[in-house]
Amino acid sequence: MPSTHQTIVVNAPINEVWNKLSDFHDLSFAPDVITDLEKVGSVDGHNAGAKRILNHAFYETLIEADSNMHMLKYSIDDGPSPISKDEISNYIGTVKMSSNGDGTLVEWDSTWDASEENAVEFCHGIYVALLNGLSNSFKH
């Protein structure tokens, strides 16, 4: 089972980081990575079942949002190669936060089923860029 694991320490308290990351329909902290986010359906971005399309290509569904554990879990339902539904299945991404001194440790993990490892580098690069965008959004 291919997977990725990325981490960053954000120089902000956990509640501030959670407030920025907890809305599945808002990735405005990373405008260089996410140039378009389309909300799909009527489920609010803080609730399981919320759907979005990122950059006209990535179809995702929020599976779980736990404000007590500061954790989001979502699926990628389809996307461009190498993560299209024809190439991978059971894609689950998990974003977890924990206090780290005066900052917040953010961990972004993903796993999926595939016969090849083609998507590992592709996904890793996107998540590193998203985490850097998140961290930079707290710099003044």
Extents of the domains making up the chain = 3-136
* CATH (residue range 3-136): 3.30.530.20
pLDDT value at residue 71 = 98
| pLDDT digit string, tens, across residues 51-105 | 999 999 999 999 999 999 999 999 999 999 999 999 999 999 999 999 998 899 9
* Whether the Cβ atoms of residue 121 and residue 128 lie closer than 8 Å to each other: no
* Whether the Cβ atoms of residue 51 and residue 39 lie closer than 8 Å to each other: yes
Among 82, 107, 83, 112, which residue's Cα sits nearest to residue 97? 107
Dihedral (Cα; 89, 43, 25, 119), 10-degree rounding: 0
Rounded Cα distance, 119 and 12, in Å: 31
Distances (CA, A) of 127 to 5, 30, 33, 55, 110: 9, 11, 9, 15, 10
Among 90, 113, 123, which residue's Cα sits nearest to residue 2? 113
Q: Is pTM, for the whole model, over 0.85?
A: yes
